[in-house]
Amino acid sequence: MKRIGAVILVTTIFSFGAVADPAASPSTAQELARKVITEFQTGNAAELRSNGVTYIPVFKDGLKASPDDPLIYFALASCEMGQSNEQQTAQEHMEKAFILSHKDVHIGLMYALLLKMNKQPMKAYELNKEMVALHPEVPQLKIGLATMEMTIQKYDDAIAILDELQRIAPPNLAPDDKSVLLFMEGNCYLYKGDRAKAIQMLEQSVAISPRLAAVYSPLGEAYLKDGDLDNANKNLDKALAANPRFASALFYKGICAEKAGDNEQARKDFSDAYKYGKLRLADNGEDYYFMFLVSRMLDKSDEARNYKAEAEKLLFSYEAPWKK
């Protein structure tokens, strides 16, 4: 989601000891696969993207000698993910890695991410559910499942998970992590139409971590949809102070301007929201639905219909409701 994805930092340690026993004399493909995993661990994605094309043939040759090696399949799929014309092949290889590894949790996380990237949110959701059932003790998996539930607008299910995570959270849970959980749940209540609960949780979130700028936009939206224009403007301004290209904040600032009778400013805000919103279109239905809302404000009716249809394909079909 445009809001959630920007702030959730789930650190996954790729420890493949349980996936493939190190050979006494590892093949070139196995050695290279471990190098790829190391690049993931160290966050060196740029090197992986630049060298992925040259790595792929090595892994394919390695699979001829070791056709059941999940580590090689995982590394191959990871390199293919960076190639725009290899996404379906990457998915097939990641699925093989997942099955051959006996459903290793770390590979499963990457597989779910790839499914989402390939615009298969329901498959990603089902995979997340399966992994939580297999490993109910891993909170990162539950956060991933809650995030996917929000992505496909299963807000009640997400709230149940987020309530549980907050209930069992250790006393020394990092403030930023606590803030993110409140942020996520506040978004759920916003979309359920419980603006009072949404405002309460989002205010708690920014009180714990004021630097979590992504919270200010949905908080401003919640106030606006509850009829509080002053607090809406205040929070949307904070979001835009942190990021002047924050598309959703620009959009709701436009609505604030429109309500204040400043149609010229509203048009400018909507145009900016349109420009920056298009830049983030990828695999989130919420982003396409947002572009439907913006396009409609700019009288781009054909575009609006197309964006709404794309959002529905990605299982996102409605905005957070306004106060009646």
Rounded-to-integer distance, Cα 31 and Cα 12, Å? 21
The pLDDT value recorded for residue 85 is: 81
On the question of pLDDT at 7 being above 60, the answer is no
pLDDT at 21: 39
Query: What is residue 16's predicted lDDT score, i.e. its pLDDT?
Result: 38
pTM for the model:
0.89
Nearest to 304 by CA among 322, 318, 290: 290
CA pair distance 267, 307, nearest whole angstrom = 20
User: Over the chain, what is the mean pLDDT?
Assistant: 90
Tell me the per-residue pLDDT of 293-318, one tens digit each, with 9 for 90 and over: 999 999 999 999 999 999 999 999 99
Please write the tens of the pLDDT for every residue from 231-240. 999 999 999 9
C-alpha pair distances (Å), 189 with each of 33, 202, 323:
43, 10, 13
More confident residue, 36 or 201: 201
Confirm whether 278 is domain-assigned.
no
Indicate the pLDDT class of residue 38, thresholds 50, 70 and 90: confident
**Could you tell me the CA-to-CA distances from 263 to 154, 206, 246, 247, 266 in Å, in that order?**
36, 31, 20, 18, 5
Q: Which domain holds residue 60?
A: 17-103
Question: What's the pLDDT tens digit per position in 125-168?
Answer: 999 999 999 999 999 999 999 999 999 999 999 999 999 999 99
13 pLDDT band (50/70/90 cuts)? very low
Given 3-state DSSP classes, what are the helix, strand and coil percentages for the chain, each rounded to the nearest 5?
70, 0, 30
- Do residues 320 and 221 make contact, with C-beta atoms less than 8 angstroms apart? yes
How far from chain centre, in Å, is Cα 310?
A: 17
Tell me how far apart the alpha carbons of residues 113 and 120 are, in angstroms, rounded to a whole number. Answer: 10
Q: How many domains does the chain have?
A: 1
Q: Select from 211, 291, 208, 244 the least CA-distant residue to 2.
A: 291
Structural contact between residues 248 and 221, judged by C-beta atoms closer than 8 angstroms: yes
Task: Flag whether 137 is in a domain.
Answer: no
Q: Which helix (H) or strand (E) holds 126?
A: helix 121-134
Residue 147 within a domain: no
Cβ partners under 8 Å of residue 184, min gap 6: 4, 8, 146, 147, 150, 158, 162
Tokens describing residue 167: 């209930």
- Residue pair 236/259 in contact by the 8 Å Cβ criterion: no
- For residue 318, is it within any domain? no
End-to-end Cα separation, the chain, in angstroms: 26
pLDDT tops 50 at residue 36: yes
Whether 51 is covered by a domain: the verdict is yes
Alpha-carbon distance of 31 to 69, in angstroms, equals 12
Q: Which H/E stretch holds residue 186? A: helix 175-192
pLDDT value for 51: 76
The confidence score (pLDDT) of residue 86 equals: 85
In a domain, 217, yes or no: no
Cα distance between residue 201 and residue 75, in whole Å: 40
Dihedral sign computed on CA atoms, order 171, 177, 104, 26 = negative
Q: What is the mean pLDDT of residues 175-194?
A: 97
Position 89 pLDDT exceeds 80? yes
Q: Tell me if 218 sits within 8 A of 202, measured CB to CB.
A: yes
